[in-house]
A and B are shown apart, each in its own frame.
Chain A
Amino acid sequence: MGHEYIAAHRSYHLLAMQLSQAGFHVLRFDFYGCGDSAGDGERGDVRQWLSDIEVAIGELRRRCRFSKVCLGGLRLGASLSMLTACERDDIDGIVLWDPVISGDTYIAELTKLHQDVLQHSYAPPSRRSMAEKPTESLGFPLSGVLLSDLANLDLLAIQRKPANKVLIVATQADTGGTQLKEHLQSTKAHVEYQVLPGPKLWLEDVNKVLVPNQILQAVVSWISRMYE
């Protein structure tokens, strides 16, 4: 969502092309209130976006013949993929690219980044606005409903196995990724955890961001190994 969505767009396009060339049916879509999809940014929230994923799976089933579904996403998209997979029985695999594990941490990161970026511009955030609950982050609205949804997000609290096969891709080795791997293993999922140092798309200047080819290749290679 937000600036992270914009920074990741071209990488998603290329990933979809590569997966398609490898023989998979692929659907990319924008959540409600994001990108080309309908709706104001203020109206997007986690419940709506989980429902959007359900619609996307239904749309792909309507258009193509396939037996197994693999969901994938970057950052919050990864977390929503996992939440969806936990609620359904037909998701066989999930790809979690630098997932947001804790919503609270995510809100704190978004808030800090917003303040850091604007600090040196002609629109520095006031002390008062810095002390208040955030209402926007780098050009995108953060509604009260969304903030509340995010505050309740905790992937480590989910007890159900989301999918048989899980790939976690991290651009940096950290305790969060390792914890998530161990947690998912405890649900009896087959988990592969790959640390592939590269640019953090969501932190880069959108106009300087590079497509992380190594990660795209890793995802295509994992999906091909799992489903060919």
Chain B
Amino acid sequence: MDIQDVRVKEEPLFFGKARSLMGIITDPPKAPRDENFPAVIFLNAGIVHRVGPHRMFVKMARSLANLGFVALRFDHSGIGDSKARNDRLSFEQSSVSETREAMDCLSTIRGRKRFVLVGLCSGTPTSFRTACLDPRVVGLILLNGVLESPDKINQEVISYVLNHKIARSYWQGKLFHPPSWLKVISGKANYKQIVNVLTSRLRDLFVPDAKVALGANHIVGDLRSLVAGGVKLLFVYSEGTAVLEYFRMALDKEIRKLRASEKVKVQIIQRTDHTFTLLRHQEELLGLVCDWALDVVLD
């Protein structure tokens, strides 16, 4: 989609109990058809302000607005142009509370009653937790999503995931890559890592990843409840990243079952990095998000 053609309208917005949260609302060229047409809210990716990594959220918000969606990109407190909080709420609590304030705001000023939340990496646990608490959320777009704060994932699981990431890079990338074999023959390879990869692969054949999945049981339960409640989810992952390995180990089996309901869609973008840095990957992601958003509404 050519953003040059977008005729959307944008305005800055201060909202929240203390009007300390700053966002940009993007309105479609024509008013949405009815109040059931959901609005889209973008959550901060880490401490990157509301424009998103590589300004992707600006492009997405404008493209979605051109399709008829009202979109809001806002900064959580202490990020971008929003003031820091002076209470003692953890980010885990405040980020959910602020996302709900963003929904309240769009309900008041634009009459929206249903919402799609978009998160990338650290924005995904906030999206997920908010959806679990607030029935106004009808869709989630989770980009390289982890669903729970990384600091809550235990070290053993993280090591397991990282080993798998390296192993997969060996199996998929290096096994059929002549220069890698040359390194092995010439004694320049990292033999310790190769042994680790082989043993990890053998272990996988005999020991299922039940231990890892166990740690994600509450997430699986929440996911089932959301889908049963009608929430639709789009997961987009970058191939070769640790978050995708975690997703595969913790949720893949469950997702396979949930996919049958057609409420869950998983897309993987090949040969990209965690924030979809290359412009062609950003374009691919934008297409996936817009197509899915229309599916959610038209269904």
Contact = CB atoms under 8 A, between A and B. Distances in A.
B190 to A, nearest CB: 14
A104 B24 CA distance: 35
Given A123-B272, A139-B277, A35 B55 contact: yes
Contacts of B273: 118, 121-123
Contact of A138 (B46, B51, B54): B54
Interface string B74-104: 0000011100000000000000000000000
Interface in A111-137: 117-118, 121-123, 135-136
Size bin of chain A's contact surface: 20 to 34
Given A34-B55, A122-B272, A138-B54, A207 B48 contact: yes
Interface in B39-78: 46-51, 53-56, 58
A204 to B, nearest CB: 11
A141 interface: yes
B62 to A, nearest CB: 9
A35 B53 contact: no
A188 interface: no
A111 to B, nearest CB: 14
Interface centre among B10, B79, B80, B273 (most CB of A within 10 A): B273
Contacts of B271: 122-123
25 contacts: A3-B54, A9-B80, A10-B80, A34-B55, A35-B51, A35-B55, A35-B58, A36-B10, A36-B50, A36-B51, A39-B4, A41-B55, A122-B238, A122-B270, A122-B273, A123-B271, A135-B279, A138-B54, A139-B54, A139-B275, A139-B278, A140-B54, A141-B279, A206-B48, A207-B46
B281 interface: yes
A207 B58 contact: no
A83 B279 CA distance: 30
Q: Which 7 A-B pairs have the closest CB atoms?
A: A139-B54, A122-B240, A121-B273, A207-B46, A139-B277, A9-B49, A40-B3
Contacts of A9: 49, 80
Interface of A: 3, 6, 9-10, 13, 34-36, 38-41, 43, 117-118, 121-123, 135-136, 138-141, 206-207, 209
A62 B46 CA distance: 37
Interface in B227-258: 238-241
A118 B54 CA distance: 14
B189 to A, nearest CB: 17
Contacts of B55: 6, 34-35, 41, 139-140
B124 interface: no
B126 interface: no
A6 B47 CA distance: 10
B46 A6 contact: no
